[in-house]
Amino acid sequence: MKHPILVALLLIVITACEDNDPVTPELEGEQWQLVKMWGQVPNSETTGEDMEWQEYYLLMDDDTFIKSRTRDGVVEEAGGKYSFQELADGTYLVLDYEEDSALMGNCFGNQQEQLFLETEKTLIGTWQACDGPGLEYERVE
Protein backbone atom coordinates (compact mmCIF):
# COMPACT_ATOMS: atom_id res chain seq x y z
CA MET A 1 0.00 0.00 0.00
CA LYS A 2 1.46 3.26 -1.07
CA HIS A 3 -1.08 5.50 0.59
CA PRO A 4 -1.95 4.11 4.04
CA ILE A 5 -3.08 7.54 5.21
CA LEU A 6 -5.58 7.80 2.34
CA VAL A 7 -6.92 4.33 3.11
CA ALA A 8 -7.28 5.23 6.79
CA LEU A 9 -9.07 8.47 5.95
CA LEU A 10 -11.37 6.67 3.54
CA LEU A 11 -12.29 4.14 6.25
CA ILE A 12 -13.01 6.96 8.69
CA VAL A 13 -15.27 8.71 6.18
CA ILE A 14 -17.16 5.48 5.36
CA THR A 15 -17.60 4.65 9.05
CA ALA A 16 -18.77 8.16 9.85
CA CYS A 17 -21.42 7.95 7.13
CA GLU A 18 -23.03 4.79 8.52
CA ASP A 19 -26.49 5.13 10.05
CA ASN A 20 -25.81 5.26 13.77
CA ASP A 21 -29.36 6.17 14.81
CA PRO A 22 -30.60 3.94 17.61
CA VAL A 23 -33.12 1.39 16.46
CA THR A 24 -36.44 1.54 18.28
CA PRO A 25 -37.29 -1.98 19.38
CA GLU A 26 -40.64 -3.36 18.33
CA LEU A 27 -43.11 -3.96 21.14
CA GLU A 28 -42.85 -7.52 22.37
CA GLY A 29 -46.05 -9.01 23.64
CA GLU A 30 -49.32 -10.71 22.98
CA GLN A 31 -52.16 -9.02 21.09
CA TRP A 32 -55.86 -9.69 21.69
CA GLN A 33 -58.19 -8.31 18.99
CA LEU A 34 -61.90 -7.51 19.44
CA VAL A 35 -63.75 -9.81 17.06
CA LYS A 36 -67.36 -9.73 18.22
CA MET A 37 -69.70 -7.47 20.18
CA TRP A 38 -73.33 -7.76 21.23
CA GLY A 39 -75.86 -5.80 23.24
CA GLN A 40 -78.73 -6.59 25.58
CA VAL A 41 -81.13 -6.79 22.62
CA PRO A 42 -81.46 -10.27 21.05
CA ASN A 43 -79.77 -10.71 17.65
CA SER A 44 -77.63 -7.59 18.10
CA GLU A 45 -74.31 -9.37 17.49
CA THR A 46 -71.82 -7.65 15.15
CA THR A 47 -68.39 -8.71 13.94
CA GLY A 48 -65.47 -7.28 11.96
CA GLU A 49 -65.94 -3.90 10.29
CA ASP A 50 -69.63 -3.85 11.27
CA MET A 51 -68.75 -3.34 14.96
CA GLU A 52 -69.21 0.09 16.52
CA TRP A 53 -65.43 0.30 17.09
CA GLN A 54 -62.21 -1.66 16.54
CA GLU A 55 -60.10 -2.47 19.58
CA TYR A 56 -57.18 -4.52 20.86
CA TYR A 57 -55.13 -5.16 23.98
CA LEU A 58 -51.37 -5.52 23.77
CA LEU A 59 -49.97 -7.41 26.77
CA MET A 60 -46.24 -6.73 27.08
CA ASP A 61 -43.63 -9.06 28.51
CA ASP A 62 -43.01 -6.63 31.42
CA ASP A 63 -46.62 -7.03 32.73
CA THR A 64 -47.82 -3.74 31.23
CA PHE A 65 -50.57 -3.35 28.67
CA ILE A 66 -51.88 -0.93 26.10
CA LYS A 67 -55.53 -0.82 25.07
CA SER A 68 -56.23 0.84 21.74
CA ARG A 69 -59.65 1.72 20.33
CA THR A 70 -60.44 3.20 16.92
CA ARG A 71 -63.87 4.75 16.57
CA ASP A 72 -64.93 7.00 13.68
CA GLY A 73 -61.26 7.28 12.62
CA VAL A 74 -60.14 8.50 16.07
CA VAL A 75 -57.61 6.37 17.97
CA GLU A 76 -57.60 6.41 21.77
CA GLU A 77 -55.12 4.55 23.98
CA ALA A 78 -54.78 3.78 27.66
CA GLY A 79 -52.51 1.51 29.65
CA GLY A 80 -51.31 0.18 32.95
CA LYS A 81 -50.34 -3.12 34.56
CA TYR A 82 -51.95 -6.53 34.08
CA SER A 83 -52.07 -9.86 35.90
CA PHE A 84 -53.97 -13.12 35.73
CA GLN A 85 -56.18 -14.15 38.65
CA GLU A 86 -57.60 -17.58 39.41
CA LEU A 87 -61.16 -17.47 40.79
CA ALA A 88 -63.66 -20.24 41.51
CA ASP A 89 -65.16 -20.01 38.01
CA GLY A 90 -61.89 -19.74 36.08
CA THR A 91 -59.01 -17.48 35.09
CA TYR A 92 -59.37 -13.73 34.60
CA LEU A 93 -57.14 -11.14 32.98
CA VAL A 94 -57.08 -8.19 35.38
CA LEU A 95 -56.13 -4.79 33.96
CA ASP A 96 -55.16 -2.01 36.39
CA TYR A 97 -55.22 1.30 34.51
CA GLU A 98 -52.74 4.07 35.30
CA GLU A 99 -55.54 6.64 35.21
CA ASP A 100 -59.25 6.93 34.48
CA SER A 101 -60.10 6.31 30.86
CA ALA A 102 -63.25 6.12 28.77
CA LEU A 103 -61.77 2.89 27.35
CA MET A 104 -62.31 0.96 30.59
CA GLY A 105 -65.19 -1.48 30.33
CA ASN A 106 -66.14 -2.21 33.91
CA CYS A 107 -69.03 -2.27 36.34
CA PHE A 108 -67.27 -0.95 39.40
CA GLY A 109 -66.33 2.66 38.67
CA ASN A 110 -62.70 1.96 39.55
CA GLN A 111 -59.58 1.85 37.40
CA GLN A 112 -59.74 -1.90 36.85
CA GLU A 113 -61.12 -4.07 34.09
CA GLN A 114 -61.55 -7.86 34.09
CA LEU A 115 -61.89 -10.27 31.20
CA PHE A 116 -62.67 -13.98 31.45
CA LEU A 117 -60.13 -16.31 29.81
CA GLU A 118 -62.64 -18.63 28.13
CA THR A 119 -59.97 -20.58 26.19
CA GLU A 120 -56.28 -20.10 25.42
CA LYS A 121 -57.32 -17.99 22.46
CA THR A 122 -60.55 -16.30 23.65
CA LEU A 123 -61.20 -13.53 26.20
CA ILE A 124 -64.72 -12.43 27.14
CA GLY A 125 -65.31 -9.00 28.68
CA THR A 126 -67.32 -8.83 31.89
CA TRP A 127 -68.87 -5.42 31.15
CA GLN A 128 -72.14 -6.97 29.92
CA ALA A 129 -72.91 -7.97 33.54
CA CYS A 130 -73.90 -4.33 34.16
CA ASP A 131 -75.57 -3.40 30.85
CA GLY A 132 -72.36 -2.81 28.89
CA PRO A 133 -71.81 -4.51 25.56
CA GLY A 134 -70.67 -8.10 25.35
CA LEU A 135 -67.14 -8.17 23.96
CA GLU A 136 -65.14 -11.14 22.65
CA TYR A 137 -61.42 -10.98 21.86
CA GLU A 138 -59.18 -13.46 20.09
CA ARG A 139 -55.46 -13.82 20.52
CA VAL A 140 -53.61 -12.76 17.37
CA GLU A 141 -51.13 -15.43 16.28
Amino acid letter, 49? E
Ordered by where they begin, the domains of the chain are 25-139 (2.40.128.20)
Tell which wins on pLDDT, 14 or 36.
36
75 burial type by CB count under 10 A (0-12 exposed, 13-18 middle, 19+ buried): exposed
pLDDT computed for residue 2 by the predictor:
53
Q: Give 28-52 pLDDT, tens digit per residue.
A: 789 999 999 999 888 899 999 999 9
